[in-house]
Amino acid sequence: MDTPQYALVLLMLGTLLSLSILADFIAGRTAIPRISLLVLIGVGVAVVQQWVLGQSAGVLEGLSEPLIQLALVMVAFLLGGEFTWDRLRTLGPVVAVFSFSVVLVSGLVVGAGLWLLGFPLILAVTLGAIAVATDPAAVTETIHEQRVAHTRTGRLLLSTVAVDDGWGIVVFGLAMAFLGWHGSGEGAQAVLTALWELGGAVVLGVIVGVPAAWLTGRLAAGEPTRVEAIALILLLAGGAALLHVSELLAAMVAGAMVANLASHHTRSFSEIEYLKWPFLVFFFVLAGASLDLGNLQVAVGITLAYIALRLLGRLLGGWFGSTLVNARRGALPRGLGMALTPQAGVAMGMALLAGERFPEFASTLMAAVVVSTVAFEAVGPWLVRMTVARADSSDNDNKQDGDITRD
């Protein structure tokens, strides 16, 4: 990279971080979600690059992929930290049944629906897996804002979103393995490759996570722990790329290892939580900037179909899950799945990873997921408020609720 290119890259990175501060300012004074603003900044970059400068899609060539990978590994590692034995025992079978029902039904509705509408199998299966993911921050903030976190419904939704993206990562890994096997046509070799992608990710997560758990308990908080956290993320991202395994699953397994085995596991998670936002800024902006604006017209149909089918899948998944729970305890309204509509970073990360594997569908996938993410982030909090308000009145009518996480 020559000096002008080097200077331009540094200026671009500084500009993106500066614009994120402006996005924070606007989001704090309006009802527009911060994530949507960052994605729209990226779309603005795409407009300037493709329509004004006449260049091809993509920005920060050579740097965008590692920045995105690091952001995704951080998010997945933090998600893995939610899967402690104590927490899983506390969640109870009701949360497991409800969350699995929403995941299964919404994924099947989107995947089967798109396939029946005539879209390619790769797009249908990939978007079916992506549909499973939820934005836990948007749901959690809205529930606390409505002051219903103590109700039966509030506790169920908070517990569900805590593990929902974990389900999503597993489903996405299975979907990618299936598509690799289906498209290969090499029989046993394709099966072994698919198994390695998932099993190898688990092995990598254990190999990195167990020593990290041992080390975390022996370091004082501060600079050494920060260095350990950065080393952990780099090892996971680089190892997954080198071994061709799922980086999301590997990072989630490593996070679970540290959370369950380390005596001071919160230190690493706190450091990564502290470090992740600048990387997420690059991630959301670069995701928006990766849009191929010339392909938007082609992607309109699948984008609208994906939005409609995901809303239907959430509605039916919530209805099915509530029916199963009501058979056990009762008192849950049927439309709870609509409170799980917000979708953000994990979904876009899945789309980017799938686009790398299936480049012929990359532009269509990114268009569908970026546009739908902005839509879901915009209407999602309103759907959460509407759902919990209806559920809150149901809770008030039924006083036998008990603790949903221990049923």
* 152 assigned to some structural domain: yes
Tell me the C-alpha distance between 339 and 337, whole Å.
Answer: 5
Angle 146-82-165 (CA atoms, 0-180°, nearest 5)? 75
175 lies in some domain: yes
Structure tokens at 247: 């980086």
CA distances 226 to 67, 73, 195, Å, are 18, 16, 34
Residue 405 lies in a domain: no
The reply to whether 22 falls in a domain is: yes
State how far the Cα of 77 lies from the Cα of 82, in Å rounded to an integer.
9
User: pLDDT tens-digit profile of 229-283?
Assistant: 888 899 999 999 898 888 888 998 998 888 888 766 566 677 787 788 888 888 8
Domain of residue 132, CATH code: 1.20.1530.20
Task: Indicate the number of domains in the chain.
Answer: 1
Separation CA 218–CA 361 (nearest Å): 47
How many angstroms from the chain centroid is the CA of residue 122?
19
Instruction: Yes or no: say if 49 and 59 are a contact pair by the CB < 8 Å rule.
Output: yes
- Closest by CA to 87, choosing from 265, 233, 346, 246, is 265
User: At which residue do the structure tokens 């010339």 appear?
Assistant: 294
Kindly state whether residue 406 falls inside one of the protein's structural domains.
Answer: no
Residue 368's domain comprises 3-399
As a whole number of angstroms, the distance between CA 267 and CA 280 comes to 20
Task: Report yes or no on 294 lying in a domain.
Answer: yes
Note the pLDDT of residue 206: 92
Residue 317 lies in a domain: yes
List the beta strands (DSSP E) in 46-102: none
pLDDT at 399: 47
- Residue 67: closest CA among 367, 276, 340, 274: 276
In a domain, 333, yes or no: yes
Q: Which helix (H) or strand (E) holds 338?
A: none
pLDDT tens for the 407 residues of the chain, in order: 566 777 877 888 888 888 888 888 888 887 777 888 888 888 888 888 888 877 766 566 667 778 888 888 888 888 888 777 777 776 677 778 888 888 899 999 999 999 999 999 999 999 999 998 888 777 887 787 777 777 777 777 877 887 777 888 888 888 888 888 777 666 566 677 777 888 888 999 999 988 888 877 555 555 567 788 888 899 999 999 898 888 888 998 998 888 888 766 566 677 787 788 888 888 888 888 888 787 777 788 999 999 999 999 999 998 888 888 776 555 667 778 888 888 877 888 888 888 888 888 888 898 898 888 888 888 888 888 888 777 666 555 554 444 555 55
